[in-house]
């Protein structure tokens, strides 16, 4: 591996270590705040939500409070890490995963009240910051040209080992025949939201992130993106489930997710919604 690749991977490891320590501190703090049987039925439940939901569910929580007068606390991160934390006793009451298999596994092992509900299907995009030499296109043709010319120095995706959006990015790059070529330049975000920060930081030519993040005004103003064909990767079927300790406010928010207002908010962030039943 050359010096440039070594520096990239070293920078990534430092970033991931810092984030891992930070995430541990957050979970420890939540556990201390919510110790005891009554605390698990807190009036302000903590919702573990996949990072692609950062803007959509923040808006949903505000609408929920406006309509019901009730609050929820939101914690955003990678689906795989949340699943591990739930197994270790993290005091979440609702889990909104980016890949339904994590809900299925938790249900099988007795951590959720039931098998949950499919709430959305996600999509991925190629994104580049303003001023980048990378010009996003659906076929990733410009990315292929730049890789061939040695003009990519850093390219961001979420960590495929525990972030569903990172795994789908890997699948799409493999479909296009670019995975091996891009690997030396990868910068791995702890989750897809951090991958978006890396991709738009100005230190990378771009990356692959969630469509829902790219559509948010805070992100859209920073760069250009192109939607990657949905058949280049396995579907991102996103499922939510109430955990065994869920209280009435968490149950009410779960039900709110199925209302017309909530569905409209999700659609505005590019999610494909399940048919209303």
- Is 7 inside a domain boundary? no
In tens, the pLDDT along 139-172 reads 999 999 999 999 999 999 999 999 999 999 999 9
* Average pLDDT of the residues in 251-275: 96
The domain tally of the chain equals: 2
Task: Supply the pTM of this predicted model.
Answer: 0.84
User: What integer pLDDT is reported at residue 271 of this predicted model?
Assistant: 97
- Is 67 inside a domain boundary? yes
265: pLDDT strictly greater than 50: yes
Domain that holds residue 255: 17-121+236-268
63: pLDDT strictly greater than 70: yes
CA distance 93 to 253: 11
Task: Check which CATH number belongs to the domain holding 86 and give it.
Answer: 3.40.190.10
- Is 74 inside a domain boundary? yes
CA distance 127 to 222: 10
- Is 8 inside a domain boundary? no
Of 94, 86, 37, 39, nearest in space to 61 by CA: 94
251 and 163 in a common domain: no
Q: Confidence band (pLDDT; 50, 70, 90) for 217?
A: very high
- Strand partners for 242: 94
- Is 32 inside a domain boundary? yes
210: pLDDT strictly greater than 80: yes
User: What integer pLDDT is reported at residue 276 of this predicted model?
Assistant: 66
């Amino acid at each position: 591996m050359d010096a440039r690749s070594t520096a990239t991977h070293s920078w990534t490891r430092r970033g991931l270590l810092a984030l891992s320590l930070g995430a541990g501190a957050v979970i420890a703090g939540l556990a201390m705040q919510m110790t005891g049987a009554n605390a698990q039925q807190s009036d302000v439940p903590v919702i573990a939500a996949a990072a692609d939901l950062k803007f959509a569910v923040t808006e949903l929580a505000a609408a929920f409070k406006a309509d019901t007068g009730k609050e929820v606390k939101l914690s955003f991160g990678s689906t795989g890490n949340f699943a591990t934390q739930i197994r270790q006793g993290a005091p979440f009451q609702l889990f909104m995963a980016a890949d339904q298999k994590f809900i299925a596994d938790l249900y099988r092992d007795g951590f959720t009240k039931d098998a949950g509900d499919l709430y959305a299907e996600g999509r991925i995009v190629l994104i580049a910051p303003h001023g980048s030499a990378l010009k996003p296109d659906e076929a990733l043709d410009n990315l292929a040209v730049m890789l061939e010319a040695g003009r990519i120095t850093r390219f961001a995706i979420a960590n495929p080992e525990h972030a569903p959006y990172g795994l789908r990015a890997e699948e799409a790059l493999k479909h296009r025949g670019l995975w091996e070529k891009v690997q030396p330049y990868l910068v791995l975000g702890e989750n897809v939201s951090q991958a978006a920060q890396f991709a738009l930081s100005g230190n990378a030519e771009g990356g692959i992130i969630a469509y829902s993040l790219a559509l948010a005004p805070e992100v859209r103003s920073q760069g250009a993106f192109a939607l990657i064909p949905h058949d280049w990767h396995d579907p991102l079927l996103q499922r939510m489930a109430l955990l065994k300790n869920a209280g009435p406010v968490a149950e009410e928010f779960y039900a709110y997710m199925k209302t017309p207002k909530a569905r409209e908010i999700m659609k505005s962030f590019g999610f494909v919604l399940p048919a209303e039943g």
